[in-house]
A and B are shown apart, each in its own frame.
Chain A
Amino acid sequence: MIENVPVLLVVVPILAATLPHFLGLRYDRAGWTIAALVTTASFGLAIWLAATVFTTGEAVVHQLGGFPRPIGIELVADRLSTPFAVLVTGVSAGVLAYTRTGGPRGNSFYSAYLLLVGGLSGLTLTGDVFNMFVFLEIVGLTTYALISKGRSGESAVAALKYLIIGTVGASLYLIGVGLLFVATGTLNMTDLATAIPEQAGYTDPLVLSSFAFVFIGFAIKIAQFPLHSWQPDAYQHAPDGVTPMVAALVSTVSAYALFRLVYSVFTVEFLVANPYTTEVVVTFGSISVLAGSALAAMQTEVKRILAYSSVSQFGLVVLAYGLVNDTALVGAQIHLLGHAIMKGGLFLAAGTIAAGVGARTVDEYAGLAKRMPFAAGSLAVLGIALVGVPPSIGFVGKWYIAVGAVEAGAWPVAVVVFLSTMFTLAYVARLLEKMYFTPVADRPTSDAVAADGGESGDSDGTRERDSVTDGPARVPGRVAPGTVSKGMLGVTILAALLAVGLGFAGGVFDALLSPFVEVILNG
């Protein structure tokens, strides 16, 4: 029975995606119930799968259609992929608590939502490089559709920009797959790991250029610095209920997929045989960390700050991939999982605050702690966790990456990690200062009037435009200010508690992940 679970995690959400449409003909609000049932059931299945994999220590492998490896396609659930399967299903079930009152409604939304969950599960569990491309495109397509669900035209423009850049990224990955296929004649990840040295050799130009295409393709999907330009627009203009989902999962799972490819397909021997590949990866990540956090510190829109902050946090993960040691790689995994919870929670908090009082810029957050104590408190806790203050999951991830950098003898990288913490503190502290120490009386704020009165005084053109297109008070169809449900608040607080609670579980993460990472590192 357990060997069927990986396939259920992929197939059930995708098949269930048709139900909101059919049942929607009869029941208006069938979508949410179906999505909640399916994601919760998937969450249960993913936990069962993870428990089995971690207790037996054996990977669960499903051969689709019963065809064995070189011919058929495999789904592989091992110690690396199951934590991400749990994350995908868990976050998607949690975000639904927000969308019931806060997010975009309608049955078509929940169809796309379930397709996205199925695509993400597939991306985590697949053991075949071409299948990975297909799931990457399923995830991409549904993400574009979900982002364009926003009421303003801006969201359509952001979605089209993402579509064009994202498609180029996925196509570059496909070229990489093609080159690997030419070099080895197989597409299965396990077979590729042995076929690359046997049939081509690590310094073969085909394999090298394949690595370059795969890395650049994923760098676009993960939003690394010079290739990140789609991401801030997409995160900012997506509906408030969609951004947490996209920010927590889409780039995270792409980063996981890159890890899979670099370490399970190209393997450590490839990186050792071509030392400059790791140099490129580390440099790419470091630049992303610095540029992303600097850009984040310059923004005034809260969702845009958080979006640029993702660029820098994923930079940390990518540079850890290039350090090639046990500590840094475990750190990268912990930081990926932790960042998903923290960033998802931060966007949930930002959405809740926007739905509650209509505040979207840093200035509008003035005195928020009094008006929405719980949402502001969660935002504060999650922000502090993102900076990396112990005890929080953000600290554990950064600590492992920094120690890994020192172990690898890469002192400049350790400095980069430290600088990123300082920058993160710069933009989080600005929010905290506004929420807790700037009195409301400074500004003529009283809910709906806030956007008008506040903007005329001291704003520049950009902010004015944003408030016109995005301000909840103006745009018809958005939730009117003041409607914050228990679910929206509850899931935000839950994310904050998880971000702190998981910080205490750092040792557990290490115990669970490091044996597997050691196997990957030592062959």
Chain B
Amino acid sequence: MLDLLATRYAYVAFIVLLSVGLYMVIASQNLVKKLIGVNLFQTAIFLFFVAVAYVEGGAVPVVPKDAGGPTTTLVSPLPHVIVLTAIVVGVALTAVGLALIVRIYTEYGTLREDVLREVRADD
């Protein structure tokens, strides 16, 4: 168990972050905190991809033009590209989510889910 924590700590951190993010989404009453929870959830997945792509002693995958070919182990650039794209998607989602929260706040004057439920029931 301890051995697992020492060698696979990135994966453990991925699971912990994922769970914390999901817990925030479910348990927090504050809409902004819910959105932060979604962000944490996504960030955990980025960490997973980065951890997957890590190669012990791997070099940056840029091969010089004149050299015959790669002489050392190269890191696959694909997971990093995926993470970059996913980050862009995450930023866009956060922006849309925050815009919706602003709209909800101007409409109902609250950011808390329980209050929101009461206000909507009263309307």
Residues of chain A touching chain B, judged by Cβ–Cβ distance below 8 Å, are 130, 133-134, 137, 140-141, 144-145, 148, 153-154, 156-157, 159-160, 163-164, 167-168, 171, 174-175, 178, 181-182, 185, 187, 461, 465, 468-469
Question: Once the chains are docked, how many angstroms separate the CA of A197 from the CA of B86?
Answer: 28
Contact (Cβ within 8 A) B42 A167? yes
With CB as the reference atom, state the residue of chain A lying closest to B103. Answer: A156
Contact (Cβ within 8 A) B93 A160? no
Would you give the 0/1 interface string for B67-106, flagging 1 where the beta carbon is closer than 8 Å to chain A? 0000000001011001001100100110011001101100
Contact (Cβ within 8 A) A160 B31? yes
List 8 A-B residue pairs with CB atoms under 8 Å apart, sorted by A's residue number: A137-B92, A160-B97, A167-B42, A168-B25, A174-B45, A175-B48, A465-B121, A469-B123
Given contact pairs A141-B96, A164-B38, A178-B48, A468 touches B104 in the complex (Cβ within 8 A): no
Contact (Cβ within 8 A) B89 A134? yes
Question: Once the chains are docked, how many angstroms separate the CA of A160 from the CA of B76?
Answer: 36
**Chain A interface, >50% SS class:** helix
Question: Once the chains are docked, how many angstroms separate the CA of A133 from the CA of B83?
Answer: 12
Contact (Cβ within 8 A) A164 B97? yes
With CB as the reference atom, state the residue of chain A lying closest to B93. Answer: A167
Contact (Cβ within 8 A) B104 A157? yes
Question: Once the chains are docked, how many angstroms separate the CA of A469 from the CA of B122?
Answer: 11
Residues of B within 8 A of A171 (CB): 41-42, 45
With CB as the reference atom, state the residue of chain A lying closest to B22. Answer: A168
Contact (Cβ within 8 A) A141 B92? yes
Contact (Cβ within 8 A) B100 A182? no
Given contact pairs A171-B41, A181-B52, A187-B78, A137 touches B100 in the complex (Cβ within 8 A): no
Question: Once the chains are docked, how many angstroms separate the CA of A154 from the CA of B123?
Answer: 11
Question: Once the chains are docked, how many angstroms separate the CA of A263 from the CA of B92?
Answer: 31
Residues of chain B touching chain A, judged by Cβ–Cβ distance below 8 Å, are 22, 25, 31, 34-35, 38, 41-42, 45, 48-49, 52, 76, 78-79, 82, 85-86, 89, 92-93, 96-97, 100-101, 103-104, 107-108, 116, 120-121, 123
Contact (Cβ within 8 A) B100 A461? no
Q: Which of B45, B86, B104, B123 contacts A160 (CB 8 A)?
A: B104
Residues of A within 8 A of B116 (CB): 157
With CB as the reference atom, state the residue of chain B lying closest to A157. Answer: B104
Residues of B within 8 A of A185 (CB): 76
Contact (Cβ within 8 A) B120 A148? no
B76–chain A nearest beta-carbon distance, Å:
8
Residues of A within 8 A of B100 (CB): 144, 148, 156, 159-160, 163
**Chain B interface, >50% SS class:** helix
Q: Which of A144, A167, A178, A468 contacts B38 (CB 8 A)?
A: A167
B115–chain A nearest beta-carbon distance, Å:
12
Q: Which of B52, B92, B101 contacts A182 (CB 8 A)?
A: B52
Residues of B within 8 A of A168 (CB): 22, 25, 38, 41
A181–chain B nearest beta-carbon distance, Å:
7
Contact (Cβ within 8 A) A465 B96? no
Residues of A within 8 A of B82 (CB): 130, 178
Question: Once the chains are docked, how many angstroms separate the CA of A178 from the CA of B104?
Answer: 35
Contact (Cβ within 8 A) B52 A178? yes
Given contact pairs A144-B100, A157-B116, A461 touches B93 in the complex (Cβ within 8 A): no
Question: Once the chains are docked, how many angstroms separate the CA of A133 from the CA of B85?
Answer: 10
Question: Once the chains are docked, how many angstroms separate the CA of A133 from the CA of B96?
Answer: 18
Residues of B within 8 A of A468 (CB): 123
Question: Once the chains are docked, how many angstroms separate the CA of A171 from the CA of B45?
Answer: 8
Contact (Cβ within 8 A) A153 B103? yes
Residues of A within 8 A of B101 (CB): 160
Question: Once the chains are docked, how many angstroms separate the CA of A159 from the CA of B98?
Answer: 12
Question: Once the chains are docked, how many angstroms separate the CA of A148 from the CA of B97?
Answer: 11
Q: Which of B31, B93, B108, B120 contacts A465 (CB 8 A)?
A: B120
With CB as the reference atom, state the residue of chain A lying closest to B85. Answer: A134
Question: Once the chains are docked, how many angstroms separate the CA of A214 from the CA of B15?
Answer: 17
Contact (Cβ within 8 A) A163 B108? no
Residues of A within 8 A of B108 (CB): 153
B79–chain A nearest beta-carbon distance, Å:
7
With CB as the reference atom, state the residue of chain B lying closest to A130. Answer: B82
Q: Which of A140, A153, A461, A469 contacts B104 (CB 8 A)?
A: A153
19 further A-B contacts with Cβ under 8 Å, apart from A157-B120, A160-B100, A167-B93, are A134-B85, A134-B89, A140-B93, A141-B92, A141-B96, A153-B107, A154-B120, A156-B103, A160-B97, A160-B104, A163-B96, A168-B22, A171-B42, A174-B45, A178-B79, A185-B76, A461-B121, A465-B121, A468-B123
